[in-house]
Chain A
Amino acid sequence: MSESDATTSTEQRLDRIVSKELVDFVRDNIIWPLLLLVFLGFSVLLPIFSTWNNIEALLYGSAALGAVVLAETICLLSGHFDLSVGSLTGFTAITAGVFMVEWFPNAPGIVGIVFIIGLGGFLGLLNGISIGYLEVNPFLQTLSFLIIFRGGIEVVSTATFIDLPESYQFVGGGSIGGIPFALIVMLGLLVVLHFVLTYTSFGRHIYAVGSDKEAAEEAGIDVKNTVLLVYVISGMLCGLAGLMFTGYIGAASPTIGARILFPAFAGAIIGGVSLFGGAGKVTDAAGGILLLGTIQVGLTLLNVDPTAIDVVNGAILLGAILLYTFEERAAEFGGAPSDG
């Protein structure tokens, strides 16, 4: 090979790496400028939009949904997914409502909080055993749970429970110094999950399993146990979401958890979490849900028909998926340099 050929080859290779890393960078960070742009756009159209009251309402409304997004995010990072997050959120909320009002009416709120998160963790454990140890396809397993627990909500109760202890409702509906407690919980959750996923072996194992399950196994990572724990955590987050929704609306209603599967997926994917596992950050997933929330509130204030809002949300999700497809193509057509 001549010197000029070698120089050209090195330059092409560098170009490929730079373009691939540029695509990665865009994917990983696009959510925040996009969120700012959308926010500024609505602020221009609607002067009320950028008021603190509106921002607070937006954040408050997004907090409970944020827990479901995180439940989905952790599954996606491990290369799996969970179709049952909405059903588990609804089922834990209504069952805990029955628990607090009918089974143990005098129990303090903390008992209900432990019960609802524990119930979520238990249902997640069942998902985890089935998917991690019995190697049932995650789609079939979580689809079954979606159907079982959506029906289960009706079996447990069709009534709405409002006589819940204040301490029980505080997590989703209370405030400290004028700041909604749900926001504080969500921020705390983001910090803890970010820490666990970035700085602990368990967190890195989740990424490794999501990136290449066989490689993780051959490197000595306990893949089955990692998957099991991912679903347990996901279930606990669904329980927490059920608790936060209950506090937010002031009641344990059988409608909690309905129609949140799409935003759970969309928030994570728009936030840059890979559909194929192993890449993405929980903090960016939070950006995804804020973007969806901002659009929802903005279009509602502009009196746009709710079905049209769904169309806009779907289009944004499609855009995010196209970005991934572009990224995959970039890798196929030259992201990884050849050996020569």
Chain B
Amino acid sequence: MRNIKKRFGNIQALAGVHLDLRENEIHGLVGDNGSGKSTLVKVLVGLHKPNDGEIRIRGDRVHIDNPKEAREYGISTVYQDLALAPDLTVAENIYLGRYPKKRVGPIPVVDYGKMKETASEVLRERLNIDIDPTSEVENLSGGERQAVAIARALIVDPEIIIMDEPMSSLSADSVKRVKQLVKNLRDEGVTVLLISHNLQEVFDLTNTLTILDNGHYVGRVQTDSITEDDVVRMMVGGKVPEEIEDQVDTTPTFSSVAGD
């Protein structure tokens, strides 16, 4: 994503932000409240239309108008609010908006059998959690809901998975499980964009970071080349400290995966 600008009325939510994602990496997107992280993600998945800027995938410029199109480009999202429909079953939530079909005569109908079977398989085999796919989501715990939201993102075999605060309000066990899952995804070749307020988590998991401040792009950096304090200073001050200037890419060149 290059030079993304987004304005809501008089508020400049994004003022020329860049985001460069590469294969096989866990990339952190950090910034204080109101820094534009969620807005940037919503632009990437087509929930917000940018006023300026461009998105390229493997060098090709793309226009993403809605989350469905984002999925077609291999981008899946686990939203902070999980985006689950509480009255619907686990299986339906995993397939929300893209139900598998079978034909009854000439009429295509929702294939509940396949939905149940695959949902159960993804939860058990990829997330190592046993949840009845016919349970209504409103009857699940926070950790189980998180697993359902992640299973939904996985079911399309994404190339990029965006996880917005995936570990907030989870128990220690669930956090451990999500962390392991994030690492597994990277090992499988999926690029993970991790958005988190918890810098400890970010430093535990990510290879690279993009730092935003008040809608502005501060820089892109290798996680192991800086400290948490450096990141905090960039998040609140919006400027790169002199002593680490050579570590931070403030004018990204973009890789061949997500840039040109």
Contact = CB atoms under 8 A, between A and B. Distances in A.
Given A201-B110, A207-B88, A220 B98 contact: yes
Q: Most chain-B CB neighbours within 10 Å: which of A17, A200, A335, A336?
A: A336
A157 to B, nearest CB: 42
- Contact-residue bracket for chain A: 35 or more
Contacts of B170: 339
A208 interface: yes
Given A199-B110, A200-B109, A200-B110, A212 B139 contact: no
A75 to B, nearest CB: 16
Secondary structure of the B side of the interface? Answer: loop
B110 A207 contact: no
B162 to A, nearest CB: 11
Nearest to A24: B136
A215 B96 contact: yes
A21 B171 CA distance: 25
Given A24-B136, A211-B85, A220-B66, A338 B141 contact: yes
A204 B115 CA distance: 13
A214 B84 CA distance: 9
A78 to B, nearest CB: 12
Contacts of A207: 85, 87-88
Given A218-B47, A220-B68, A339-B174, A278 B88 contact: yes
A208 B77 CA distance: 18
Contacts of B87: 207, 210-211, 274, 277-279
Contact of B138 (A217, A219, A220, A331): A331
B219 to A, nearest CB: 29
A58 interface: no
Contact of A20 (B67, B108, B139): B139
B79 interface: yes
A104 B85 CA distance: 49
Contact of B88 (A211, A220, A274): A211
B67 to A, nearest CB: 4
A109 interface: no
Contacts of B174: 339
A201 B96 CA distance: 9
Nearest to A279: B87
Interface string A1-28: 0000000000001000100110010000
A177 interface: no
Interface in A217-260: 217-222
Contacts of B27: none
A184 interface: no
B199 interface: no
A216 B79 CA distance: 12
Secondary structure of the A side of the interface? Answer: helix
Contact of A201 (B99, B135, B152): B99
Given A217-B47, A218-B77, A221-B96, A337 B141 contact: yes
A216 B97 contact: yes
A17 B85 contact: no
B22 interface: no
Interface string A147-178: 00000000000000000000000000000000
B86 A211 contact: yes
A337 B143 CA distance: 10
Interface string B39-52: 00000010100000
A202 B68 CA distance: 15
Contacts of B92: 204, 208
A267 to B, nearest CB: 20
Contacts of A204: 88, 92, 99, 110
B129 interface: no
Given A13-B141, A20-B139, A201-B99, 18 more contacts: A21-B139, A198-B110, A204-B88, A204-B92, A207-B88, A211-B87, A215-B83, A215-B84, A218-B47, A219-B96, A219-B97, A220-B67, A220-B68, A220-B97, A221-B96, A278-B86, A278-B88, A336-B138
30 contacts: A20-B138, A198-B110, A200-B110, A201-B99, A204-B88, A205-B97, A207-B85, A208-B88, A208-B96, A208-B97, A211-B88, A212-B83, A212-B86, A215-B81, A215-B85, A216-B85, A218-B77, A218-B79, A219-B83, A219-B96, A220-B70, A274-B87, A278-B87, A335-B138, A335-B139, A336-B140, A336-B141, A337-B141, A339-B143, A339-B169
The 7 A-B residue pairs with the shortest CB-CB distance in the complex, in nearest-first order: A220-B68, A211-B85, A278-B87, A219-B97, A219-B96, A218-B83, A211-B87
